[in-house]
Protein backbone atom coordinates (compact mmCIF):
# COMPACT_ATOMS: atom_id res chain seq x y z
CA UNK A 1 0.00 0.00 0.00
CA UNK A 2 1.30 3.47 -0.86
CA UNK A 3 1.46 5.60 2.27
CA UNK A 4 0.50 9.25 2.23
CA UNK A 5 3.56 11.52 2.34
CA UNK A 6 4.36 14.10 4.98
CA UNK A 7 1.54 16.62 5.55
CA UNK A 8 -0.56 15.39 2.62
CA UNK A 9 -4.25 14.55 3.08
CA UNK A 10 -6.86 13.00 0.76
CA UNK A 11 -8.96 15.15 -1.54
CA UNK A 12 -11.97 12.92 -0.85
CA UNK A 13 -12.28 11.58 2.70
CA UNK A 14 -15.19 9.23 1.96
CA UNK A 15 -13.26 7.62 -0.87
CA UNK A 16 -10.13 7.38 1.29
CA UNK A 17 -11.97 5.57 4.11
CA UNK A 18 -13.56 3.16 1.62
CA UNK A 19 -10.15 2.40 0.11
CA UNK A 20 -8.68 1.55 3.50
CA UNK A 21 -11.34 -1.08 4.16
CA UNK A 22 -10.33 -2.82 0.94
CA UNK A 23 -6.92 -3.61 2.45
CA UNK A 24 -6.00 -6.15 5.09
CA UNK A 25 -5.91 -4.13 8.30
CA UNK A 26 -5.28 -4.83 11.98
CA UNK A 27 -8.58 -5.26 13.79
CA UNK A 28 -8.38 -1.92 15.60
CA UNK A 29 -7.72 0.04 12.39
CA UNK A 30 -10.39 -1.87 10.54
CA UNK A 31 -12.92 -1.01 13.25
CA UNK A 32 -11.90 2.66 13.06
CA UNK A 33 -12.32 2.91 9.29
CA UNK A 34 -15.63 1.04 9.26
CA UNK A 35 -17.20 3.72 11.44
CA UNK A 36 -19.05 6.15 9.17
CA UNK A 37 -17.84 9.71 8.81
CA UNK A 38 -20.24 12.48 9.80
CA UNK A 39 -23.12 12.82 7.35
CA UNK A 40 -22.99 15.46 4.65
CA UNK A 41 -25.78 17.47 6.32
CA UNK A 42 -24.66 17.01 9.94
CA UNK A 43 -24.32 20.25 11.89
CA UNK A 44 -21.98 21.11 14.71
CA UNK A 45 -24.60 21.18 17.47
CA UNK A 46 -25.56 17.55 16.75
CA UNK A 47 -22.02 16.16 16.70
CA UNK A 48 -20.00 14.08 19.15
CA UNK A 49 -16.45 15.42 19.30
CA UNK A 50 -13.21 14.23 20.85
CA UNK A 51 -10.32 16.63 21.45
CA UNK A 52 -6.81 15.19 21.15
CA UNK A 53 -3.53 16.58 22.39
CA UNK A 54 -0.09 15.01 22.53
CA UNK A 55 3.27 15.73 24.09
CA UNK A 56 6.34 14.69 22.13
CA UNK A 57 10.10 14.45 22.36
CA UNK A 58 10.46 17.13 19.66
CA UNK A 59 8.63 18.88 16.85
CA UNK A 60 9.57 16.67 13.90
CA UNK A 61 7.11 13.81 13.39
CA UNK A 62 9.60 11.98 11.20
CA UNK A 63 12.29 11.90 13.91
CA UNK A 64 10.61 12.43 17.28
CA UNK A 65 8.16 10.36 19.33
CA UNK A 66 4.86 10.74 21.13
CA UNK A 67 5.33 10.59 24.89
CA UNK A 68 1.78 11.26 26.12
CA UNK A 69 -1.75 11.45 24.71
CA UNK A 70 -4.84 13.12 26.12
CA UNK A 71 -8.40 12.61 24.85
CA UNK A 72 -11.50 14.50 25.98
CA UNK A 73 -14.97 13.72 24.55
CA UNK A 74 -17.46 16.58 24.32
CA UNK A 75 -20.34 18.08 22.37
CA UNK A 76 -21.64 21.60 21.81
CA UNK A 77 -22.98 21.83 25.36
CA UNK A 78 -21.03 19.49 27.62
CA UNK A 79 -17.55 18.13 28.26
CA UNK A 80 -17.48 14.54 29.49
CA UNK A 81 -14.48 14.58 31.80
CA UNK A 82 -15.42 11.26 33.37
CA UNK A 83 -14.71 9.67 29.98
CA UNK A 84 -11.42 11.54 29.38
CA UNK A 85 -8.28 9.47 28.91
CA UNK A 86 -4.57 10.09 29.41
CA UNK A 87 -1.66 7.84 28.51
CA UNK A 88 2.07 8.19 29.07
CA UNK A 89 3.91 6.00 26.56
CA UNK A 90 7.51 4.95 26.26
CA UNK A 91 9.41 6.76 23.46
CA UNK A 92 12.57 5.51 21.82
CA UNK A 93 14.48 8.29 23.56
CA UNK A 94 13.75 11.19 25.86
CA UNK A 95 15.68 14.43 25.47
CA UNK A 96 16.49 16.85 28.26
CA UNK A 97 14.97 19.69 26.22
CA UNK A 98 11.61 17.95 25.95
CA UNK A 99 11.59 17.04 29.67
CA UNK A 100 11.83 20.75 30.49
CA UNK A 101 8.74 21.43 28.36
CA UNK A 102 6.33 18.62 29.28
CA UNK A 103 7.78 17.50 32.62
CA UNK A 104 7.67 13.79 31.79
CA UNK A 105 10.89 12.28 33.07
CA UNK A 106 12.81 9.06 32.57
CA UNK A 107 11.31 7.65 35.77
CA UNK A 108 7.81 8.40 34.42
CA UNK A 109 8.41 6.34 31.29
CA UNK A 110 10.41 3.54 32.92
CA UNK A 111 7.34 1.31 33.29
CA UNK A 112 5.15 3.04 30.71
CA UNK A 113 3.52 0.96 27.96
CA UNK A 114 4.60 1.24 24.35
CA UNK A 115 2.60 3.26 21.86
CA UNK A 116 1.84 0.00 20.04
CA UNK A 117 0.22 -1.52 23.12
CA UNK A 118 -2.12 1.41 23.79
CA UNK A 119 -2.99 2.15 20.15
CA UNK A 120 -6.07 -0.16 20.01
CA UNK A 121 -7.55 1.55 23.08
CA UNK A 122 -6.85 5.00 21.64
CA UNK A 123 -8.53 4.06 18.37
CA UNK A 124 -11.59 2.73 20.19
CA UNK A 125 -12.09 6.17 21.79
CA UNK A 126 -11.79 7.92 18.40
CA UNK A 127 -14.25 5.71 16.52
CA UNK A 128 -17.35 7.52 15.34
CA UNK A 129 -16.24 10.88 16.77
CA UNK A 130 -15.31 14.09 15.04
CA UNK A 131 -11.69 14.70 16.04
CA UNK A 132 -10.67 18.20 17.16
CA UNK A 133 -7.09 19.48 17.54
CA UNK A 134 -5.25 22.74 18.01
CA UNK A 135 -2.71 22.68 15.17
CA UNK A 136 -3.23 19.63 13.00
CA UNK A 137 0.41 19.39 11.92
CA UNK A 138 1.26 18.06 15.37
CA UNK A 139 -1.44 15.62 16.47
CA UNK A 140 -2.51 14.23 13.11
CA UNK A 141 0.96 14.09 11.65
CA UNK A 142 2.56 12.41 14.66
CA UNK A 143 -0.21 9.80 14.71
CA UNK A 144 0.13 9.24 10.97
CA UNK A 145 3.88 8.66 11.16
CA UNK A 146 3.69 6.51 14.30
CA UNK A 147 1.07 4.18 12.83
CA UNK A 148 2.86 4.03 9.46
CA UNK A 149 6.09 3.01 11.23
CA UNK A 150 4.35 0.38 13.35
CA UNK A 151 1.86 -1.11 10.92
CA UNK A 152 2.84 0.15 7.44
CA UNK A 153 -0.75 1.36 7.06
CA UNK A 154 -2.29 4.76 6.45
CA UNK A 155 -3.88 6.42 9.46
CA UNK A 156 -5.48 9.72 8.54
CA UNK A 157 -8.70 11.40 9.59
CA UNK A 158 -10.46 14.72 8.96
CA UNK A 159 -10.08 17.20 11.79
CA UNK A 160 -11.50 20.47 12.99
CA UNK A 161 -8.51 22.63 13.87
CA UNK A 162 -9.25 25.34 16.45
CA UNK A 163 -6.03 27.14 15.51
CA UNK A 164 -7.04 27.37 11.86
CA UNK A 165 -10.58 28.43 12.83
CA UNK A 166 -9.15 31.26 14.92
CA UNK A 167 -6.84 32.33 12.09
CA UNK A 168 -9.84 32.57 9.75
CA UNK A 169 -11.84 34.63 12.24
CA UNK A 170 -8.91 37.01 12.77
CA UNK A 171 -8.30 37.44 9.04
CA UNK A 172 -11.96 38.40 8.52
CA UNK A 173 -11.78 41.05 11.23
CA UNK A 174 -8.53 42.78 10.35
CA UNK A 175 -8.53 46.02 8.44
CA UNK A 176 -7.72 46.28 4.72
CA UNK A 177 -4.54 48.16 5.64
CA UNK A 178 -3.39 45.40 7.99
CA UNK A 179 -4.05 42.84 5.28
CA UNK A 180 -2.28 44.93 2.65
CA UNK A 181 0.89 45.38 4.72
CA UNK A 182 0.64 41.71 5.81
CA UNK A 183 0.66 42.58 9.49
CA UNK A 184 1.04 39.36 11.49
CA UNK A 185 -2.04 37.95 13.18
CA UNK A 186 -2.23 37.94 16.98
CA UNK A 187 -0.77 34.86 18.64
CA UNK A 188 -2.47 31.59 17.75
CA UNK A 189 -0.99 29.64 20.66
CA UNK A 190 -3.68 27.80 22.60
CA UNK A 191 -3.07 29.83 25.76
CA UNK A 192 -3.36 33.17 23.95
CA UNK A 193 -6.39 32.20 21.89
CA UNK A 194 -8.21 31.10 25.05
CA UNK A 195 -7.44 34.48 26.65
CA UNK A 196 -9.31 36.22 23.83
CA UNK A 197 -12.41 34.16 24.72
CA UNK A 198 -12.03 34.88 28.44
CA UNK A 199 -11.34 31.22 29.17
CA UNK A 200 -9.28 30.39 32.27
CA UNK A 201 -5.54 29.86 32.11
CA UNK A 202 -4.49 26.24 32.55
CA UNK A 203 -1.19 24.48 33.00
CA UNK A 204 0.59 24.21 29.64
CA UNK A 205 2.14 21.11 28.06
CA UNK A 206 0.02 18.47 29.76
CA UNK A 207 -1.73 16.42 27.09
CA UNK A 208 -4.93 15.87 29.07
CA UNK A 209 -5.20 19.49 30.20
CA UNK A 210 -4.49 20.78 26.69
CA UNK A 211 -7.12 18.43 25.23
CA UNK A 212 -9.62 19.86 27.72
CA UNK A 213 -8.49 23.38 26.80
CA UNK A 214 -9.03 22.62 23.11
CA UNK A 215 -12.52 21.25 23.76
CA UNK A 216 -13.50 24.36 25.73
CA UNK A 217 -12.05 26.58 23.02
CA UNK A 218 -14.15 24.99 20.27
CA UNK A 219 -17.27 25.38 22.40
CA UNK A 220 -16.41 29.07 22.86
CA UNK A 221 -15.73 29.53 19.15
CA UNK A 222 -19.05 27.89 18.31
CA UNK A 223 -20.91 30.22 20.66
CA UNK A 224 -19.17 33.45 19.65
CA UNK A 225 -19.18 32.83 15.90
CA UNK A 226 -22.58 31.11 15.72
CA UNK A 227 -21.32 27.80 14.38
CA UNK A 228 -24.07 25.61 15.88
CA UNK A 229 -25.83 25.21 12.52
CA UNK A 230 -22.61 25.08 10.52
CA UNK A 231 -22.07 21.88 8.54
CA UNK A 232 -19.27 19.88 10.14
CA UNK A 233 -17.72 18.99 6.79
CA UNK A 234 -17.35 22.68 5.93
CA UNK A 235 -14.80 22.92 8.75
CA UNK A 236 -12.81 19.82 7.84
CA UNK A 237 -9.12 20.01 7.17
User: According to the model, what pLDDT value does residue 53 have?
Assistant: 98
CATH number of 13-235: 3.30.420.10
pLDDT at 41 over 50: yes
Residues present in the chain in total: 237
User: According to the model, what pLDDT value does residue 180 have?
Assistant: 60
**Mean local confidence (pLDDT), 35-43:** 96
**Mean local confidence (pLDDT), 3-27:** 90
User: According to the model, what pLDDT value does residue 100 have?
Assistant: 45
pLDDT at 102 over 80: no
pLDDT at 106 over 80: no
The domain segmentation of the chain, as residue ranges, is 13-235
Residue 134 banded pLDDT, cuts 50, 70, 90: very high
Distance of CA 169 to the CA centre of its chain: 20
Name the pTM for this structure.
Answer: 0.93
Amino acid sequence: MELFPYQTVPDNWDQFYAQQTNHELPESLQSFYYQPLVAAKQVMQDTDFVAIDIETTGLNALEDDIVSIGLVPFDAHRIYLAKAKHWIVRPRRLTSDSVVIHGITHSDIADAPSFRSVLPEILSHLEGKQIVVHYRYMEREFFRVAVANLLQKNFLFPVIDTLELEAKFLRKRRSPISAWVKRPLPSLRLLNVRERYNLPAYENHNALVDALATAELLQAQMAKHKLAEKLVRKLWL
